[in-house]
Structure 1
Amino acid sequence: MQLNQLRALVTLAECGSIRGAARALGLSQSAVTRTLREMERELGATLLIRQTHGTDFTTAGQSLLSHARLVLATMQRAEEDVRRLTGQVQANVRMAITPVLAAFSLRRLVADFGARYPTGSLDMDIGFMLTTLPKLTEGHLDFAVILADSATLPSDMTFVKVREIQMIPVANASAELSGPISWEDLAKRRWAINPSPASADQALLDWLGRRGIQLQQVPVYCRSPYLLSILSEADDIVELCPEPLYRKQLHAHGMQAIGVPDLPPPMQMGVVYLTHKPRSEPVQWLIDAAIRMAGRF
């Protein structure tokens, strides 16, 4: 396979059609079609499903697409590193960070990075496992600090555990739920949860399920920390919250921890990255800084 073939495949996925890919690449449609057919012939596999309304990918095509994105992202990173080392460009790091660490250390992390790399670029995203792993796999992130169950991570990723984070149920103080309450009774309340696989909320639901406890009301499904913070103002909503984040922010804003008899197993907080993807000096420096800060609060 050649880079121009991989680039054509990725551009086709981004544009959705041969015509759009040709326009983006500055080539004719016939040239793009020929490049893709040559790749299929070399691999001995059908990668694309050509339809009148556009082009879809076969299972083999989807697999190759993920690898192609990573290859192109790695090539781009290699070029950036060479230019940085020769003084042509400055440091560039792309990371995702869990709201727990962000609440305690984000400002310090950004300030320290800026002090070390005054003209460097720091690109940050929210660190949730469901959205972070595909971005790591395809090379769009250098690393992430997330809450995770390391046993569920793909084998090609390295997870450096920093600490454990206890999750606790919380509600607006007006809900008057501070006193002792059983999980069975708490399950009768209305919850706002992040339904993503491998999320802390899903881990709680699984833990309750093993006890024969199910939520009695249809929950509010919410994947955004910002939207969850707005929902927390309602007096009839129960949420799951990292205990350090509750101490740092939510308690002072009218939230209260709910007095349940016991708590689910804690989540692991750590740094995750692709094992075999090279990490530049700025990336490794920021990983080390994030690990140090995560272990302090």
Structure 2
Amino acid sequence: MKLHQLQALVAVADTGSIRAAARLTGLSQAAVSKALRELESEQQLSLLLRSAGGVGFTEAGHKVLGHARLVVGQLERANAELGELRGEVAGRLSISVSPWIVPAFLADAVLRFRQRMPGVQLEIFESLTGVALPRLRDGVIDLMVGSFTAAMSVQEFDSEPLLTYQSCVIARRGHPSASKTSLHQLLNEDWVVNYTPASYPSLMRNLFWQHGANIESHRLHCAHSSSLMFELVHHADMLGYCSQPLLVLEPAWAGVQALNLTERFEANHLNIITRRNAMRNATAKCFVDCLLETIKRRSRSAAEKDRMLFDLLTLAF
């Protein structure tokens, strides 16, 4: 495999078409098409599914794409590190953050980072762990700020602890079940939660199964963002499950309350997670430093909102 072939494959995956990939790479459509045809010919496998609607990937194509992202990403990081040695501060940093980190710390951390590294372009994903992890594994992102779960392999990922916090069951204020005190009294309600296929077992274990509570599948609905979950809790009379800090951080969530249940849930551990043995370059180190400084500064604040937030958090540094 040649580097330009892998770069063409990644560009097509990122843009969805040969034409857009050509614009992204600065090559002609003919050059991109030729690189991909040569790659398929050398591997004696069909990698792409071409149609009028765009380009898709065969099973073999997905496998090659995973390796291509790692190779291309590692080369970009090597170029960035060499640029740093030449005194150049430029490049790109891709990160993923848990949803509640966005209103809590992200803006201040980004401001600090931009002051120190104005030449670096940031790409930020707001993702749950189950969504971010494949991107980290494939090299799409450089680091994630999220929960390190039991399903994650310590042979594959490194984790630096930041803090711990709790999650809670929520309902709109005035909901008929808002005064209930046990999960077992809530199993006939409609629920909306965030999960992915990979995170579903751990979610169910923590929320229901460990308490001997079994909920029928048609009662459990999935929303792939916190804002969607809030809308359904607030306006569709569903129950939800979220991190406690969100109830402090989002003014729009004032119409939602945590239920005072006898059941207790496992603590969530927020971590800086990277691929194991992947060197953290200067830009990634700088962003982590900016995030830590932001958290430390907010933890010392006397502002009421900050005090309420840090009453819900236990720092690990």
Q: TM-score range by the shorter chain?
A: 0.7 to 0.9
CA contact (8 A) 1:132 1:144 kept: yes
The corresponding residue for 2:204 is: 205
Using the TM superposition, give the Cα deviation of residue 255 of structure 1 relative to its aligned residue in structure 2, in angstroms.
Answer: 1.5
Using the TM superposition, give the Cα deviation of residue 231 of structure 1 relative to its aligned residue in structure 2, in angstroms.
Answer: 2.5
Pairing 1:287–2:302 present:
no
Classify 1:117/1:7 alpha carbon distance in 2 versus 1 (closer, same or farther; 3 Å): closer
Output one character per residue of 1:61-114: Cα deviation in whole Å (capped at 9) or x when no partner.
422210111211221232234335435553642211112222321222122213
Output one character per residue of 1:181-237: Cα deviation in whole Å (capped at 9) or x when no partner.
2211112111111231344x7534234135241147533321012222322322611
Unpaired segments of 5 or more residues in structure 1? none
Task: Choose 267-276 or 119-128, whichever is displaced more.
Answer: 119-128
The corresponding residue for 1:35 is: 38
Output one character per residue of 1:160-186: Cα deviation in whole Å (capped at 9) or x when no partner.
222222110011112154434221111
CA distance in 2, matches of 1:178, 1:29: 58
CA distance in 2, matches of 1:115, 1:55: 40
The corresponding residue for 2:170 is: 170
CA contact (8 A) 2:194 2:226 kept: no
Amino acid at match of 2:130: L
Classify 1:217/1:59 alpha carbon distance in 2 versus 1 (closer, same or farther; 3 Å): closer
CA distance in 2, matches of 1:217, 1:51: 38
Amino acid at match of 2:163: R
Q: Does the residue aligned with 2:132 lie in a helix, a strand or coil? A: helix
Pairing 1:126–2:126 present:
yes
Matches within 5 A, 1:215-254: 215=216, 217-234=218-235, 236-249=237-250, 253-254=254-255
Q: Does the residue aligned with 2:179 lie in a helix, a strand or coil? A: coil
Using the TM superposition, give the Cα deviation of residue 256 of structure 1 relative to its aligned residue in structure 2, in angstroms.
Answer: 1.1
The corresponding residue for 1:267 is: 268
Classify 1:126/1:85 alpha carbon distance in 2 versus 1 (closer, same or farther; 3 Å): same
CA contact (8 A) 1:167 1:263 kept: no
Q: Does the residue aligned with 2:146 lie in a helix, a strand or coil? A: strand
CA contact (8 A) 2:162 2:270 kept: yes
CA distance in 1, matches of 2:108, 2:49: 50
Amino acid at match of 2:83: R
The corresponding residue for 2:305 is: none
Q: Does the residue aligned with 1:223 lie in a helix, a strand or coil? A: coil
Classify 1:150/1:109 alpha carbon distance in 2 versus 1 (closer, same or farther; 3 Å): farther
CA contact (8 A) 1:9 1:36 kept: no
Matches within 5 A, 1:86-105: 86-88=86-88, 90=90, 92-105=92-105
CA contact (8 A) 1:135 1:141 kept: yes
Classify 1:250/1:187 alpha carbon distance in 2 versus 1 (closer, same or farther; 3 Å): farther
Q: Does the residue aligned with 2:100 lie in a helix, a strand or coil? A: helix
Equivalent residues, number: 292
CA contact (8 A) 2:106 2:291 kept: no
CA contact (8 A) 2:11 2:21 kept: yes
CA contact (8 A) 1:177 1:259 kept: no
Amino acid at match of 1:184: H
So what's the TM-score if we normalise by structure 1? Answer: 0.81
CA contact (8 A) 2:230 2:253 kept: no
Aligned-residue CA RMSD (Å):
3.4
Amino acid at match of 2:205: D
Unpaired segments of 5 or more residues in structure 2? 300-309, 311-317
The corresponding residue for 2:302 is: none
Q: Does the residue aligned with 1:99 lie in a helix, a strand or coil? A: coil
Q: Does the residue aligned with 1:241 lie in a helix, a strand or coil? A: strand
Amino acid at match of 1:236: D
CA contact (8 A) 1:149 1:198 kept: no
